[in-house]
Amino acid sequence: MSAFQDFGPLTERRRAEKQRTQRKRLMIGGASAAVVLLVIVGAACVVNREKTSSEPSRSSTSNAAAAAADSSIHSVSKTVKMLCSPTDYKESCEKALSKAAANSTSSPKDLIKAAVAAIADEVDKSFGRVADSVKSDDPRVRAAVDDCKELFGYAKAELLRTMNGIDAHRLDDLPKKGHELRIWLSSVITDQETCVEGFPEGELKKKMKDGMEAAKHLTSNALAIIGKAPSFLSSLHVPGVSGGRRRLLEAEEGRELRGDGFPAWLSSKERRALKGQAKNNLTPNLVVAKDGTGNFTTINDAINAVPKTYDGRFVIYIKEGVYEEQVIVPKQMVNLTLFGDGSRKTIITGSRNVADGNNMTTYKSATVAVHGDGFVGTGIGFRNTAGAIKHQAVALRVQSDRSVFLNCRMEGYQDTLYAHSMRQFYRNCIISGTVDFIFGDAAAVLQNCILVVRRPLDNQQNIVTAQGRSDGHQPTGFVVHHCRIIPDGRLVPDKLAIRSYLGRPWREYSHTIIMESQIGDFISRDGYLPWDGDFGLKTLSYAEYNNKGAGADTAARVRWPGYRTITSRDDAAKYTVAAFLNGDQWIRSTGTPVRLGLYQ
């Protein structure tokens, strides 16, 4: 069963059965440990099986039993050290895995349970500490607490999904699913970071950050181990696992893609629907129209009317009009399409911002927030009209895995597009703003888009991107591919006086690639701006490849250790849609035009 089938609808009976099964398994918070331990268990089984098959039978004497026990302990210890070798927090990794191995005396299930009991406590504690802040009278703290409670729910869901993804596949399939598992686990780190980010500066915020360190380290360890799974399993000669990623991808594509370019696991009904979508011939399930000619006059009413269970993709057509409402696509609403009459005709607008109220976080300021996986937005404008004077004001926040935005427009000033987490693809979109107006920690590719830099406040500078990767093992980052970066007409007269930059490191391992794009002459020659002193300058990963335009000259770019120009086509190919998002496996099925590789 493909992990992507999680996007498919479940009947209430199947949902109830799934929940009962899940409750019998493991505490949610231990999914990271399970990722690690399933690899250990499988590896240990391989080692022990090979050892057993190569030795003659012998009588069960106490000395032989003791020798076998010592050998088993030695093998497990060696495996633990091998698994922990690529991690940044080896001590905590070895301690957790060794403790789990020591407490397990019978089956692999006992081993997993013993490890999860310790790890789950740490994950729960990290978010549980938020409860200590509830007593505060500070509205900013209460708002941050509310965010944390919501984010904790998302983190648990992703940990559970990671567990289910592992359970659904054999050990030798783990390397092929590694990218997906790491994306889901990465979002757990992002959820923790977002929780902390909402608190006002001070001692409480520091305590929150410190309280989440242990859980973050454990998740980081799991990310590192899964990332090295192919080479690790190859060293143990696990059948079906090769050391080369290209061969694995080719094998997977051969199984999953049919001749029509759609994944083989799609039903015939879904295939017909998607072919129709590719021809811009969508048949809506519901219609929203302000003039009363549809099923509903508001988008929220239409979303609330979407049945809890439905077959295939659910389509809502939003007729021309300006819809002043905050729209949230919930986590459980998967495979939803919203399409409008064009990004200048169908507009969803709001003005929420951080400046107007102490109880508003950047996270909650979004005019539209998308959580449900497999979301597709087409021909819609997402707008936040708070203006530059109100500072943080999000037009669109996206936490939907395998989400696609086609021919859309995101308009704002500071923090316009919050590409929060998961895999996201933007094609033929116009995104405008001033300060950090494309930010977050998603694995996102913007292709054939126009990035419009507006005029900020007189005391501000423009920054196009502020990518927020906080751990080097996260498979996240922003790729700006074959786009145009241009100034707004109101900025043009002041483009020399107001400095504009391509990016700055919001968090320590910020990751941004700009390639095959047209960069205007208003971009500062050094290209990038520090966040705070030398923060992240050695650990960030910024690169440019084959860009054009007066602003693309890299001769005077920053000399940071983390910045580079890419000269190899093979190196640049790592950041294409196919390689960076595994987009060849899911974007085609939405009917969205996509360039999977480089343009030149």
In the sheet with 423-427, reading across from the earlier edge strand, the strands are 286-288, 314-318, 336-340, 376-378, 403-406, 423-427, 443-447, 477-481, 511-515, 541-545, 563-565
Q: Which amino acid is at 357?
A: G
pLDDT for the residue 449:
98
The answer regarding whether domain 91-233 maps to CATH 3.40.50.2300 reads no
Q: What's the CA gap between 302 and 286, in Å, rounded?
A: 7
Active site residue 436: yes
Q: Where are the alpha helices (DSSP H) in 54-169?
A: 62-84, 90-103, 108-128, 139-167
pLDDT at 457: 97
Give CATH superfamily name and number for 282-590.
Single-stranded right-handed beta-helix, Pectin lyase-like (2.160.20.10)
**Predicted pLDDT at 280:** 52
Distance CA 513, CA 566 (A): 10
Q: Within the chain, which residues score under 50 in pLDDT? A: 1-17, 19-21, 23-56, 58, 105-119, 243-266, 270, 273-279
Sequence spans of domains, the chain: 91-233, 282-590
C-alpha neighbours within 13 Å on the C-beta side of residue 267:
10
Q: Going by C-beta distance under 8 Å and a sequence separation of 6 or more, which residues neighbour residue 583?
A: 423, 425, 445, 577, 594, 596
Largest pairwise CA distance in the chain: 90
Intrachain domains 91-233 and 282-590 with the same fold: no
Tell me the two tokens of residue 352. 């929420």
Q: What is the rounded CA–CA span in Å between residue 392 and residue 415?
A: 6
The count of other CB atoms within 10 Å of the CB of residue 181 is 25
Summarised one tens digit per residue, pLDDT across range 176-187 is: 788 998 999 999
Task: For 163-220, give the secondary structure using H, E and C.
Answer: HHHHHCCCHHHHHHHHHHHHHHHHHHHHHHHHHHHCCCCCHHHHHHHHHCHHHHHHHH
Q: Kindly name the residue from 191, 373, 401, 436 that is annotated as catalytic.
A: 436
| CA-CA-CA-CA torsion sign (563, 565, 569, 575) | positive
